[in-house]
Amino acid sequence: MAVERILVVADEEAIRNIVCAILQHDSYQCIQARSAADALAILEKDHNFQLILSDLIMPEMDGVALLERVKQRQAELPVVLVTAVHDISIALAAIRKGAYDYLLKPFEREQLLAVVRRALETYRLRMENRLYQSNLEAKVRERTEELSSALAELERSYDSILRALGDALDLKDSETVGHSKRVTAFTIEIARAMGLAPDVIRMLARGAFLHDIGKMAIPDAILRKPGRLTEDEVARMREHSHIGYRMLKKIPFLSDVADIVYAHQEHWDGSGYPRGLRGEEIPLGARIFAVADTLDAITSDRPDRPARGVEAAVAEICKWSGRQFDPEVVQVFLQIPATVWECLHDDSDVQQECFRCGLQLSKELG
Ligand SMILES: [Fe+2]
């Protein structure tokens, strides 16, 4: 064990010599300071002390002033003040200011050694505690970093699952190729303009991307039928919202997303399906999606009609505000310039937009 070092501060040389002789005899190493200023100068250069033993009454700067200066720099370093009986009230005040203890003059050798041992033991425990705490903090930091990287890895796995689901639907229903990604990018853009939090936006984006996933369970004869659907076929087709909901609800990280999928065909005025929800009964994500979906439907080529411009989509969405669409979502949508939507129609911009929101739908970016 390293030798414990004590700074002995007293203006009288005889006192310093006696104290140091006793302590050195007990294997402590002592450095002498003839005044508080002298002690501070020594402490400035040498930080390796475990205790200060100082006279209380000294000319110029006294022991209490020294104590205050020491506490500002090395709060843990114990200071024991040596005082005469008539100064005991000052010594008690010094303890309130952070002195470890005081020693009354004249003192016996054993009294000095006892107080020094206790002070050094306290200091050792404080240091051990500090070391333990900083090790603990480092450990917590390390574990937090490990956890964050595991979570990021998990998020990447989630997005791989989404991509696989999307790809599976694209194989079955060629009409959705590109549509899901564009609608996702449009949804992200509106959600961002509404000032929603990043994790909410990511959830909405997943909902938009998977909105038609229930079509996986619709027979090809209906899904790919070129002409008009019969009433029964329309009813069957409309089941896709509920089927999609049931598919996703069981997957823990997609359970909120499932609610959006369930409600993606609902209308603000209650005229949608499957449940005829109205107003704010419809999840916000589904209300934003509805605007994004119509925008994409009008501005993309369909088998039965060519694409129209963004202005036509804006006019249509305005016309149905308060009926099919949430008027507040429409208001935000109208503030976004048409050029943004025109750019987002381009595939690489769509990928970029999804990537910016943390949704890695592109294989190249993923
Ligand atoms: Fe749908």
* Cα of 27 from ligand 1 centre, angstroms: 85
Q: Is 310 buried (19+), middle (13-18) or exposed (0-12) by CB count in 10 A? A: middle
What per-residue confidence (pLDDT) applies to 364?
42
R_g (Cα) of the chain, nearest Å? 38
What per-residue confidence (pLDDT) applies to 301?
83
Between CA 177 and CA 167 the distance in angstroms is 8
* Cα of 227 from ligand 1 centre, angstroms: 18
According to CATH, where is 3.40.50.2300 located in the chain? 5-135
The class level of CATH for 173-356 reads mainly alpha
Report mean pLDDT in 10-residue bins for the chain, 366 residues.
91 94 95 96 94 94 94 93 84 90 92 96 93 94 93 82 82 76 92 94 92 92 88 95 94 89 97 96 97 94 84 96 97 94 77 68 46
Between CA 114 and CA 109 the distance in angstroms is 9
* Cα of 282 from ligand 1 centre, angstroms: 15
* Cα of 183 from ligand 1 centre, angstroms: 11
Q: Please give all residues whose CB falls under 5 A of ion ligand 1, grouped by chain where several chains appear.
A: 212
* Cα of 134 from ligand 1 centre, angstroms: 55
* Cα of 319 from ligand 1 centre, angstroms: 21
Q: Which amino acid is at 324?
A: Q
According to CATH, where is 1.10.3210.10 located in the chain? 173-356
What per-residue confidence (pLDDT) applies to 360?
65
What per-residue confidence (pLDDT) applies to 361?
63
* Cα of 177 from ligand 1 centre, angstroms: 14
Angle between helices 255-262 and 198-209 (to 10 degrees): 50
Single pTM value for the model: 0.62
Q: Which two tokens stand for residue 293?
A: 């979906």
* Cα of 240 from ligand 1 centre, angstroms: 7
- The architecture in CATH of the region 5-135 reads 3-Layer(aba) Sandwich (3.40)
* Cα of 273 from ligand 1 centre, angstroms: 10
What per-residue confidence (pLDDT) applies to 172?
81
User: Which long-range contacts (C-beta less than 8 Å, at least 24 apart) are formed by 318-322?
Assistant: 320/294, 322/268, 322/269
* Cα of 243 from ligand 1 centre, angstroms: 11
* Cα of 197 from ligand 1 centre, angstroms: 26
What per-residue confidence (pLDDT) applies to 88?
81
Residue with tokens 């104290």: 19
What per-residue confidence (pLDDT) applies to 326?
98
